Amino acid sequence: MERRAIEVWTQWIDPALLLTTCLGLALGGLAQALGRADLAGVSWAAGSIVMTLVLLAEVVQRLLRREAGVDLIALLAIVAALGFEQWLVAAVVALMLSSGRTLEFYTSRRAVRELQTLLDRAPRHAWLVKEAELCRIPIDQVHVGQVLMVRLGEVVPVDGRLLSTSASLDESALTGEPLPVTRVEGSPLPSGIVNLGEPFKLEALQTAEQSTYAGVLRLAETARRSKAPFARLADRYALLFVPATLLLAGAAWLISGEPLRALAVMVVATPCPLILAVPIAIMGGISRAARRGILFKDGATLEALAEVRELFLDKTGTLTSGQAKVQAVEVTQEQEAAQVLAMAASLAQASMHPISQVVVDAARLQKLELHEPSQVEEVPGAGLEGRVDAHRVRLGTLSFVCAGAEPGQWAARVLRRMDYGAYGGSFIAVDGELAGAVLFADVVRRETPRVVRRLRAAGIERLVMLTGDRQENAEAVALAAGIDEVQAGLAPADKVRAVQEGGLLGRTAMVGDGINDAPALAAADVGVAMGAAGTGASSEAAGVVLMVDRLDRLVEALEIARQTKSIARQAVWIGMGLSLLAMLVAASGFLSALAGAVLQELIDVMAIACALRTLAMRKVPTERLTGEQVDRLHQDHVQLERVRARLRELAETFAQLPPDVARASLNGLVDELQKQLAEHEREDERTLYPMLSAQLAGDDPLSALSYGHREIFRLILLLTRVRDDLLQEPPAVSLKEVQTLLIRLDTLVQLHFDQEEELYRYLDRR
């Protein structure tokens, strides 16, 4: 109880000081008007002495911690005014400080309103369904597996699975999206969302402590209590600012022989812009981010993110959706695709493996009839075996399904297609005979390519994808996402090493969502966890949590951090620059102490108003193209004409060439495509397209052309792999298959170049 009382007093001390100094100044003014100058002096001195005692206590605490504070100048100014019996000056300086501190108090409360809302709405109880009755229990007594009832308007207390047919939900507290959503039976529901419709039942999958909302609350509380990093930087400035102020004040006194000049210098030197404006800017940035579903642990994290130039991203669940989807069902000549999928899905019903569930979902989507499997045996890491109707079915890896037998040419072609398309696959055997394969892939998030372009436009100089997946799969995802640098086949320790090596070149950020990402998140200067429902380990290791599972929030976090830091610096330089100018005027004798106090108050208001711009930041315009640059872009296309002509020639004649000539021609063409065409398009993606976007309407006006880049990269990669297969004896692919790829690439390159040329003519307004 005593501790709570101290916290309340600490929170409200600044408004209390403002009330005291205002009251002292007002009563003194009234007494002065009534001709009682003695009572006026007592009243003004009383208000300023209260402020002095508070400042003295704070300064002593700092000195005991071996910290220098710029508020020492404010203390010296009031003490000097009292020493020179300038009671009104002391009262005005005290009012100036208390009003500035109170403004910071209310602005900070305004800035953390969104965070405090998260804390206030946390559920305290849950309704347990027990023997057809509802029992109200404390939320910390909820156990995994219990069935809960969530009524209209209530917050979902723990992470769980929806047992009712459907539910209408408000997820804005976690996602920042205001529109309600509908979830169907079986859907996972994170804690912290609100029921907008009929009561529904929920099976608890986590305890309250382990649930999504509990993690959000812990981060929110940390952010609410954080101290802005620039405040510590301001304290370091005191090592120079305090001696410089005292030196200038002493020089003014010594040269003029007027001690009141020294007082005037100290009054206008009171560094409120440095003390107040920067924390206000930082908290404003944190508040703005929270409204968009981006939670910063503290102001230091926001400042660090603003300086990041290297970004590392995990693949699965970050650049991709993290959920595999069936891409195709391949079958042998004796089988039908629907029949094979139904067999595989029937057997997969007996497994809890995620891939098994993907196969079952694909069959149900096609409304196939599934049968109950029997005698099922599961071999971890290999597959399933069991009976479906009268058939013996195997589902899993090729070696497991074939059971030591030779797979044959059909399986080799499927494996090659999996390699080309970066697919995973489960093979199916029925009664000992290979029947087919289900190919699946973890698709790239729809917003990923656009996010990568925006990150480059925002100043990220190096983008690296880190993954434990195979190099072939990783390269395909990187091409689809627009990322040039890939490090694949990494264990968690390898990811940490990669991030640490990147840190030698500058500030780094790591984005991930899984348990295996937590060490790398902690190793980076800034760790960013994807989605509030991400694993607890990754959220705890991260400094930033994107509470909505959307990668584009990462760009918003970066833009908010950089604009916040820029605005904070502007507020400091505006305020301190004006203060320095006023100090020189006061030292010259053209500004009295009282006038200086009033002027300093106006400077404070200007600096704080500048800092408040973080609550309404706008997009910063990017560089625009000049006419000369447009001409150079056209010349780049002309220089690539030889490569395009060779591609066009081979696309028309490749299948008719002798095998040796065809292999040699393809080998030379692929080298030129990689070194010239692909590199040209990558440079366009990195530097040109961000500038072009600035001259066009819309958030991402070049998305179609950028998609053309990624498709060009993908086809060049396929040609590289096909070239290697063509060199085998006998060749694994036919000349006709290669010619088909060449025709597709030639058509795409021609269309892409024509589209860019048309765009350049549109932008050339000379």
* Residues with a known catalytic role: 314
Residue owning tokens 């100058």: 37
Sheet of 166-170: strand order equals 181-184, 166-170, 194-195
Cβ contact 437:414 at 8 Å: yes
| DSSP class per residue in 573-620 | HHHHHHHHHHHHHHHTTSS-HHHHHHHHHHHHHHHHHHHGGGGG--PP
The enclosing H or E element of 280 equals helix 278-291
Q: What is the DSSP string of 210-228?
A: TSHHHHHHHHHHHHHH---
204: its two tokens: 């608890």
28, 441, 596 from 89: Cα distances, Å: 12, 73, 9
Which H helix or E strand runs over 201?
strand 200-204
| Residue that the structure tokens 């699946």 belong to | 440
Nearest to 215 by CA among 536, 573, 496, 578: 536
Q: Pick from 313, 316, 319: which is nearest to 499 by CA?
A: 313
CA angle 425, 426, 432 (to 5 degrees): 140
Taking a C-beta distance cutoff of 8 angstroms, is the pair 384, 395 a contact?
yes
Q: Of 151, 157, 160, 154, which Cα lies nearest the Cα of 137?
A: 157
> Which of 316, 354, 315, 314 has the alpha carbon at shortest distance from 541?
314
Distance, in Å, from the CA atom of 726 to the CA atom of 663, rounded to the nearest integer, reads 7
Helix (H) or strand (E) holding 406: none
Sequence-ordered list of residues with C-beta below 8 angstroms from that of 321, at least 6 positions apart, any chain: 442, 443, 444, 445
465: buried, middle or exposed (CB in 10 Å: 19+, 13-18, 0-12)? Answer: buried
Cα–Cα distance, 569 to 559 (Å, whole number): 16
Residue length, the chain? 766
Angle, CA of 98, 104 and 105, to the nearest 5°: 85
In angstroms, the CA 504 to CA 522 distance is 16
